[in-house]
Amino acid sequence: MAQGLIEVERKFVPGPGTEERLRELGGTLEHRVTFRDTYYDTPELSLMQADHWLRRREDSGWELKCPGAAGVLGHHTEYKELTAEPTIVAQLCKVLGADGLGAGDVAAVLGPLGLQEVASFVTKRSAWKLVLLGTDEEEPQLRVDLDTADFGYAVGEVEALVHEEAEVPTALEKIHRLSSMLGVPAQETAPAKLMVYLQHFRPQDYQRLLEVNSSKQRPQGTKDPDNCLG
């Protein structure tokens, strides 16, 4: 993934006919893959409380998701994805208020920043791509990932990647259209795998995130922890 792309996504609950519907809409199955994600944070969950999500995916390296300009808007989320390790380290130091660690490898700063493993699970994914009818064939395709985690939770995600904030409204419109075509109810929300993991296995941390979010009393359109990534 190119550095600095903006990810706009919506999560939904997949059904037994979701893959067949994707085929009917002209979707192409790219691959089926199994991978392990491990998330890192401080004992106080300082990153998650700041809506930053540090993950290492097996055989894929590090990624830090940071809130985009809109954050969570309705049932959709917008994040910037950082994958270059020096950029990740710089952002981690900024969020955690640490200076003087340089811009080296992420693994080298875990200890100094007090970051530790807070979640780790295996996901089986089927990854799809498609272009909606009536849109420019040269436009980036929408992605649909259908995931099942090893703790029994299944979730789908419709995703578009854009380069500029100005492209986000068009991406949202496409996500709305495809979600409707897949039979996703307009008001349906589906929590991210990470949040379900925390709810099941680290309920005190999960509750802490809910309490921090509610205590901020932010305006409509700000983040809902259940609708964050995973």
For the annotated binding site for Mg(2+), the residues are 7, 9, 145, 157, 159
Sequence ranges of the binding site: 7, 9, 11, 55, 57, 65, 125, 145, 157, 159, 193
Alpha-carbon distance 120 to 40, whole Å?
Answer: 9
Pairing type for strands 76-82 and 154-162 reads unpaired
Task: Name the residue with tokens 């940071």.
Answer: 66
- Which positions make up the binding site for substrate? 11, 55, 57, 65, 125, 157, 193
Identify the CA nearest to 156 among candidates 27, 6, 1, 62.
27
Q: Within 10 Å of residue 204's Cβ, how many Cβ atoms?
A: 7
